[in-house]
A = this chain, B = another copy of it.
Amino acid sequence: MGIKDDAVEVRAQGWRTLAALHGSIEAELEKALQSAVELSVVEYTVLDALSRQDGWHMRMQQLARATALSSSATTRLVNRLEDRGLLTRILCADDRRGIYTELTSAGQKLLLEAKPAHDETLAAALASAELVPELEPLVKALGALQGV
């Protein structure tokens, strides 16, 4: 095996590690958010993204990118949250194709309620991942990223 081949193998190994860590964290968050506030991980992601947005509104496309979802999935995701009264659609005045979504006060309230559960579960998931030998270095590396 030459140096080049090693690089390929290192990348593949890194990807498997990344996927494994992502999968285990997501599964734990899913369970915790579901039982605490009946939200899926992507639903939480939407509420959280909106709350961290100036003016608390985003267009569908931005939301699609933030959640790594297709635009059709985003439509239905927003439908679900709108039906529960957690956000509202607002037509763009300047570009009438566009639609802004905005958190309602119920949405803000639910997010506040969900956040502690989310953060605790995330901490616990990272801690338990750190005990798995294959995952431990990546967890350490993740913690070392400066949070902007």
Chain A residues proximal to chain B, CB less than 8 Å: 6, 8-15, 17-27, 45, 68, 118-119, 122-123, 126, 134, 137-138, 141-148
What chain B residues lie within 8 Å of A6 (beta carbons)?
Answer: 147
Given the known interface contacts A8-B119, A142-B138, A142-B141, the answer about A147 and B18 at a Cβ–Cβ threshold of 8 Å is no
Query: How many of these chains are in the complex?
Result: 2
Asked whether, in the complex, the Cβ of A141 is within 8 Å of the Cβ of B147, the reply is no
Asked whether, in the complex, the Cβ of A141 is within 8 Å of the Cβ of B144, the reply is yes
Asked whether, in the complex, the Cβ of B68 is within 8 Å of the Cβ of A24, the reply is yes
Interface pairs A-B: 4 shortest CB-CB: A23-B68, A141-B141, A10-B147, A13-B147
What chain B residues lie within 8 Å of A27 (beta carbons)?
Answer: 68
What chain B residues lie within 8 Å of A146 (beta carbons)?
Answer: 10, 137
- The docked-state distance in angstroms from the alpha carbon of A145 to that of B18 is 11
- The docked-state distance in angstroms from the alpha carbon of A141 to that of B26 is 21
Asked whether, in the complex, the Cβ of A9 is within 8 Å of the Cβ of B147, the reply is yes
- The docked-state distance in angstroms from the alpha carbon of A17 to that of B26 is 13
Asked whether, in the complex, the Cβ of B14 is within 8 Å of the Cβ of A123, the reply is no
CB nearest neighbor in B for A69: B23
What chain B residues lie within 8 Å of A123 (beta carbons)?
Answer: 8, 11
- The docked-state distance in angstroms from the alpha carbon of A14 to that of B141 is 10
What chain B residues lie within 8 Å of A18 (beta carbons)?
Answer: 18, 21-22, 25, 142
Given the known interface contacts A19-B22, A22-B18, the answer about A11 and B143 at a Cβ–Cβ threshold of 8 Å is yes
